[in-house]
Chains A and B, each alone.
Chain A
Amino acid sequence: MIPLSHYLLVSAILFCIGTTGVFLRRNVITILLSIEIMLNAVNLSFVAFGRQMGTVDGQIIVFFVMTVAAAEAAVGLALVIGLFRHRESLNPDAFTSLKW
């Protein structure tokens, strides 16, 4: 059997990869993908903890996270389309009109 700590370690590594992507990438779509990676890392630890406790609550929270991720992807991609229509670019540094 696999120790719980290994699942948590995989989850932590995936979360770090996602965070790195948000900070390093200069493309709005890739930043949204990195957020999806982070959500999935958290899902993995939810399922692992739920298995450890022997309850279904961990799995149910994963469903809610998936729903929120779907809503986030829909609104986020609509924003990306709107931004691209105005600026012809996906670089977040191009969207600085509201910056003080």
Chain B
Amino acid sequence: MPETLVFYLLSGLAIVASALVIGQRNPMYSVLMLIASFGALAGLYIQLDAPFVAVAQIIIYAGAIMVLFLFVVMLLNAPTEDGADWDKAHPLQLPAVTRLGSMLAVLLVIQLAWALMEAADINGPVAGQTGAAAVSSVRQLGRTLFTDYVFAFEATSVLILVAMVGAVMLARREGERS
């Protein structure tokens, strides 16, 4: 079963890389690990018959967004996380609060696992019961995007314009007029 093997390999890679992202103290390594995680996720998208999403994932996420992150990390000469003194005296570090928080987290995990167990129709192979054919052609994707979702598409363009203006305004040096 090479397909199954590839699935477990890719999902294991994605999970391990994501865990390393939050396990690093140096943000530089975190960004690089996240790129590996996105690559593994792109492989999973290909397995799910969504090659266009996989390519967009590589180009937009790994190519554009992560380069932006890398740029900022290098620009700020990213100081590695400092264990400041006030951090140890933080009220959230109290033992009772920590215990309550871990208990709630365990409860959440149990609930999620229970919901997954109880849900019907998810234990067959993907699209096994419905027998749905794979829809992956870019033509069909584009047709749906520009007919059913045309309003959301246009709203997205406004969102990007607003984000662009906002980023320029925020990153501008203060007292600079022009």
- Which A positions have Cβ atoms within 8 angstroms of B? 1-10, 12-14, 16-18, 20-21, 24-27, 29-30, 32-34, 36-37, 40, 43-44, 47-48, 50-57, 59-60, 62-64, 66-75, 77-82, 84-85, 89-91, 93
Whether B97 sits at the interface, judged by CB under 8 Å, is: no
Known A14-B14, A33-B69, A36-B34: A47·B61 in contact at CB below 8 Å: no
Inter-subunit contact A70/B126 (CB<8 Å): no
> Complex Cα distance A5/B73, Å?
37
Interface size, B (range):
35 or more
Q: How far is the CB of A42 from chain B (nearest CB, A)?
A: 11
Q: List 9 extra interface pairs beyond A33-B69, A55-B132, CB under 8 A.
A: A5-B116, A16-B112, A40-B61, A47-B45, A56-B141, A62-B50, A85-B173, A93-B87, A93-B90
Inter-subunit contact B22/A17 (CB<8 Å): yes
Q: Which residue of A lies closest to B145 (CB)?
A: A60
Whether B109 sits at the interface, judged by CB under 8 Å, is: yes
Inter-subunit contact A29/B27 (CB<8 Å): yes
Inter-subunit contact A7/B44 (CB<8 Å): yes
B27 contact from A14, A27, A62, Cβ within 8 A: A27
> Complex Cα distance A43/B38, Å?
11
Chain A binding surface SS class: helix
A3 contact from B47, B126, B160, Cβ within 8 A: B126
Inter-subunit contact B159/A68 (CB<8 Å): yes
Inter-subunit contact A26/B72 (CB<8 Å): no
Listed A/B pairs (8) with beta-carbon separation below 8 Å? A2-B126, A5-B123, A12-B116, A27-B81, A33-B31, A37-B37, A44-B41, A73-B65
In the complex, per-residue mask of B66-89: 1 if CB is within 8 Å of any chain A CB, else 0: 001100110110110111101100
